[in-house]
Amino acid sequence: MDQVQELPLEAVSGRSLSRRIKAPALHAVVSAVVAALAAALVFIAWYPPPYSRLAGGLSLFLILVGVDLVVGPVLTAVAADPAKPRRVFLRDLAVILLVQIAALSYGLYTLAQARPVILSFEFDRFRVLTASDIDPVLLAEAPPGLKELSWTGPRLVAIAKPANRAEFQRSLDLALGGYDVSYIPKSWRDYSASAGEVWSGAQPLGALLNRYPDQANAVEKMARDAKRPLSDLGFVPVLSRTASGTAVIARPDSRIVGFLDVDGFL
């Protein structure tokens, strides 16, 4: 008689162990796969190096992954009460997944709006602009070929110099109001056509290496990779809303050959 009563208890115990361990573990594995796919989208397409730092993509993504990898499986573990009928457990799991999908979708939307779309040379610096920085109405006034925002990393442009004193004063007034000229799409110009102006605005590498001697090896590698002597390299500070850095450029075309994780405003 006692032996007959023990069987259901063992069955319940086995079901308890299976649901308590397998359900959260499976949820964690699926969440990890989804997070890996999201990471590929974010860091390969939207925030290629070094923009995960310059545009703040890394910190936003870590928050997103925290929700995806931790909250979902934890809620599943809480819901995996072996006393629940299977139908009720599946209903609770569906609600958790819907909440998790909604959170993931909102996180990806936020990352998409904060993605870098323009790297503009602004007289003596590069400025990183995100999709949310660009007014859609003003974007319609951008030059041909620049009216659509990129989904695969920022596009390189140069800012047109003021043609007269009135335009210069307007640019100055905008800057004093916290609205730099880079945020006005009609001022964007083809970067390659402005290579000479970019090089004129660059500073010699010697000044940077005197300040940051630990960057010498990185700079020498950039020169080797670009197949240019160090004398043909210069640097330009890079500024975004959340960070700063340094771009190393090479003449004669002022192409960017690398970035340094140091403040270029000496």
Ranges of each domain in the chain: 2-113, 116-194, 202-266
**Distance of alpha carbon 121 from alpha carbon 127, whole angstroms:** 7
Rounded CA separation 136/120 (Å): 18
Q: What is the pLDDT of residue 15?
A: 53
- The pLDDT assigned to 266 comes to 85
Measuring CA to CA, how many Å separate 153 from each of 70, 83, 213? 29, 51, 30
Of the CA atoms within 13 Å of residue 176, those in its CB half-sphere come to: 6
What is the reported pLDDT for 176?
Answer: 67
Report DSSP state, residue 140. Answer: T
Averaged over successive runs of 10 residues, the pLDDT of the chain (266 residues) comes to 43 57 86 91 95 90 82 86 84 90 90 96 94 93 93 94 72 68 90 93 94 96 95 96 95 96 92
Rounded Cα–Cα distance for residues 143 and 190 (Å): 9
Q: What is the pLDDT of residue 177?
A: 64
Closest CA to 133 of 53, 247, 56, 193: 56
pLDDT of amino acid 17: 57
- The burial of 120, by beta-carbon neighbours within 10 Å (0-12 exposed, 13-18 middle, 19 or more buried), is given as buried
User: Which burial class, exposed, middle or buried, applies to 234 when counting CB atoms under 10 A from its CB (0-12, 13-18, 19+)?
Assistant: buried
H or E element, residue 244: strand 244-250
pLDDT at 11: 46
pLDDT at residue 16 in the model: 55
Rg (C-alpha) for the chain, rounded Å, is: 27
Return the bridge partners of 204, or none: 234
- CB distance 265 to 153 below 8 Å: no
